[in-house]
Chain A
Amino acid sequence: MVFDATAGFPESRRRSLVDRITRHAEPYLYTAPALILIVTIMLAPLVLGLSYAFRDVHLLNPFSGGYVGLDHFRTLYDDDNFYRALRNTLWWTGASVLLQFVFGLILALLLDRPFAGRAIAQALVFLPWAVPTFLTGLNWAWLFNPVIGPLPHWLYALGLMNEPANILSNPQLAMWGPIIANVWWGIPFFAITLLAALQAIPRDLYEAAAIDGAGAFRRFTSITLPFLAPTIAITVLLRTVWISNFADLIIVMTSGGPADRTQIVASYIFTQAFRALDFGYASAIALVLLVLLLAYSMLIVMLRQVLMDRA
């Protein structure tokens, strides 16, 4: 009956029904391939990984896979390497973000001023950003190597070192290696983002302030900084999360050594999975890291709320 009724519709009505169905299905057809890939290759492994945290999953042991409850977390609770990795993560992230931000901001301010050759200078200083991270790591590891690199010899000549030695093999200094490489690689990102925000500030504001007698420093603190503040906040927060998970440079330059002094949580997870092939324990650490990152994000959201309420 229903079909009869439909068949009885005038041609134009029926076409509009087909049209309506296609129009409703259309956005789903466009997004389906992307959605399917994200669900199968990212969401499914994420859930599977969470289940590994409570199971004994060892790649080389075919009989593994059984449920072990909270055993991994008990091990983790007493794992000194984990606490060291946690402290190293804070140090690595804090130093990298701070240095990248400060030098990136200075660079953005320098490039915001027109000068002859600005386009070329900009292209050159942004170049490190295009260098693949594994190559960045290797390149800096070579620069720090006294056999082939100049840095130890320069530090020695400046009297900062007793002999031209590799700081990457010095437990006290090793973390500076990946941090410096990270700063070199990451300055352009901050500079690009901040430069874009700088160029969006209306120029007449500066002119008006100059006419009113505001000096360069005053113009910077009362115009530039307030305009940049939202961009700075967002970039720093997102970068903090990203860098705390960024293990490539450490794995390439020191693989966590010497004596685990450069091991961060992310590289510890990778080492457990890749070298120890202990997928269960790696997933348990990953779960803890995820909870910590969630807590950090919540803290940021709450902080923002408090600041907005006060404003």
Chain B
Amino acid sequence: MNNYSTFGTALHRLAILCYVLFALFPLFWLLKVSVTPNDLLYSEGVRMWPSRMSFEHFRFVLAHSAFPVFFRNSMIVAGATAVIVTLLASLSGYALSRFTFRGKYWLVALMLLTQMFPLVMLVAPIFKMLSPLGLTNSLTGLVVVYTAFNIPFATFLMQSFFDGIPKELEEAAKIDGATQFMAFRQIVLPLTLPGIAATLGFVFTAAWSELLFALMLISGNSAATFPVGLLTFVSKFSVDFGQMMAAGVLALIPACLFFLFIQRYLVQGLTAGAVKG
């Protein structure tokens, strides 16, 4: 019995180890190539770590390429989208959580519908709609499109956070003479801060990663976001692997920061939701 359980434990740890290796290896390789000097890149083949490290690729990418511009553009687009979506979604999520009103059913149905149909369908018509408005090849255009795409999910997310806050708090405030909006702003919102942070993070990551609409709507380097810039770079200079991977590592930074911040809430939050539902 004891023998069996020791064996089981070993097997369990081994399986976990396999998963960890599988999850980390591609990112490790990205990092490895990005710090390998060019002269060792081909001669050392599939060595696990270069015999000599160098940050020349990072220096080149930061000083002599358009990547700082792409990085800035992506930061602006993802940051603005995250802030606007969170603001609007906390309003609409609050309405869904606290009010019963005519048309609520249809609003929820509409938002669910937007989650079901393939967004790639909208690539052509959105281009046609935005181009006479001067919103193609512009960061504003991307923010508008990403904001609309992310609002439905963010609304449901915020609604679930509001649902977790007892109504009695606002009712007490209203008895003391506060309007519903004051109660919302001064009592409910501060209590929802973790939810707001999560929504900000989710939307930021989604906007940071979006590729297809950015490819379609943006041409030229000045308004390119990171994915568009990196892909253009790859198709133009497909031999500078060190530089491409250095740029890739840079693209990974904001996403990983967000992830470290969010990951411990993930299972916890989902579990709470599951128990409640």
Contact = CB atoms under 8 A, between A and B. Distances in A.
Interface in B221-271: 227, 230-231, 234, 241, 244-245, 248, 251-252, 255-256, 258-260, 263-264, 266-267, 270-271
B30 A38 contact: no
Interface residues of A, number: 88
Interface in A286-311: 286, 289-290, 293, 297
A26 B120 contact: no
Contacts, number: 256
A23 B270 CA distance: 33
Contacts of B120: 245, 247, 266, 269-270, 286
A265 to B, nearest CB: 9
Contacts of A106: 15
Interface stretch (A1-9, A39-47, A92-100, A204-212): A39-47
A122 B127 CA distance: 41
Interface stretch (B58-66, B189-197, B209-217): B209-217
Residue among A28, A45, A111, A129 with most chain B CB within 10 A: A45
A193 B101 CA distance: 32
A266 B270 CA distance: 30
Contacts of A140: 26
A43 B227 contact: no
B148 A135 contact: no
A27 B101 contact: yes
Contacts of B19: 107, 110, 121, 125
Nearest to A274: B216
B118 interface: yes
A134 B118 contact: no
Given A27-B104, A124-B24, A131-B27, A245 B119 contact: yes
A176 B151 CA distance: 34
B203 interface: no
A199 B255 contact: no
Interface of B: 9, 12-13, 15-16, 19-20, 22-24, 26-27, 29-30, 33, 41-42, 45-46, 88-89, 91-92, 94-96, 99, 101, 104, 107, 110-111, 114, 116-129, 144-145, 147-149, 151-152, 155, 179-181, 205, 208-209, 211-212, 215-216, 227, 230-231, 234, 241, 244-245, 248, 251-252, 255-256, 258-260, 263-264, 266-267, 270-271, 273-275
Given A33-B92, A35-B107, A121-B16, 14 more contacts: A27-B104, A42-B149, A45-B122, A49-B124, A122-B267, A125-B16, A127-B256, A127-B259, A132-B255, A134-B211, A134-B227, A138-B248, A199-B271, A274-B216
Interface of A: 22-24, 26-28, 30-31, 33-35, 37-38, 40-46, 48-49, 52, 57, 59, 106-107, 110-111, 113, 115, 119, 121-136, 138-140, 142-143, 147-150, 153-154, 184, 187-188, 192-193, 195-197, 199-200, 241, 245, 247-248, 251-252, 266, 269-270, 273-274, 279, 282-283, 286, 289-290, 293, 297
